[in-house]
Amino acid sequence: MQPTSELGRAALKARTFSSMGTVVSLTVPARSLGAAAVPDDTGTGRCLDAATSAVERVFAGLDETFSLYRPDSEASRLASGELSLREASAAMRERYADAHGWRLTTEGAFSPERPDGVLDLSGIIKGYAIARAGEALRSRGITDWCLNAGGDVLVMGSPVPGSGASWAAGVVDPQDRSALLSAFELGGPSGAETGTRCALATSGSAERGEHIWTAGTRGAEFVQVSVAAADIVMADVLATAIVAGGTAMLHRATDHWDVDVLAVRRDGELLATPGFRA
């Protein structure tokens, strides 16, 4: 992530931590942390540390429940058969209901189960964690911020508060991780309230290998799909669904949801909606 304005670049403060098998970063303009009332960086740093801790608690709490890599998690107990979905916590049942709803609306392209039948809600939990973390930041009165969890991005406001500048999210080239395919402007003033694109999620096999289950035996048609939307869960789910469902799901997504899509075929061909071409 980088701001679209040179004026905002020097005034941005960031913190990172690891969770859910990826790196999470929080970037905030110093002015959003009350820096104007503090003569040096000490107060700003304390405010940012506190905000980052709030975000980290959201991710840690969800990871403890939903991670299949933690043998003591509720998700692992469900996978082993020790616990049934009927006996599961309300939080687990609610996220399963969300995921099942997405399975219906994507006509099966998105699924809450692995091919072996194990319940796996990882396709929805990271986006949900980002959304919950955003709520935690808003509850602290922070109105301008960027959250990036392994390339899935949610923003609010602007990197230069009051300027109207957007945040710029870069989409990495799956064939050259040091290069960008495109940039997409996210947020701006009151973006979350007006329906402006404030979320961008990317799914595919270029970085994590073949981890998305696809119909048929030839593998995924797309090696990478990025979706920009007003909602991070929607962006994340639809990016995964398009990788799984190919061109048919791409057309369904752009016909039924207010999103922009950038998809990369195995031969390097790009398919993009006008928002990404601009």
Tens-place pLDDT, residues 217-248: 456 799 999 999 999 999 999 999 999 999 99
- Specify which of 28-42, 64-78, 203-217 reaches the highest per-range mean pLDDT: 64-78
Sheet holding 2-3, edge to edge: 2-3, 167-173, 176-186
User: pLDDT tens across 49-65, in order?
Assistant: 999 999 999 999 999 99
Q: CATH class for domain 2-277?
A: alpha beta
C-alpha dihedral sign at 86, 130, 237, 256: positive
- Decide if pLDDT at 99 tops 90: yes
- What percentage of the chain exceeds 90 in pLDDT? 73
What would the pLDDT profile of 122-172 be if each residue is shown by its tens digit?
Answer: 999 999 999 999 999 999 999 999 999 999 999 999 999 888 899 999 999
Which is it for strands 260-265 and 222-229: parallel, antiparallel or unpaired?
Answer: antiparallel
The contacts of residue 127 (CB under 8 Å, 6+ apart) are 152, 201, 232, 233, 235, 236, 237
3-state secondary structure 236-266: HHHHHHHHHHHHHHHHHHHHHCCCEEEEEEC
Helices (H) and strands (E) in the chain, counts: 8, 11
More reliable by pLDDT, 220 or 73? 73
Q: Which residue has the tokens 């709803």?
A: 101
pTM: 0.88
Q: How many CB atoms lie within 10 A of CB 243?
A: 27
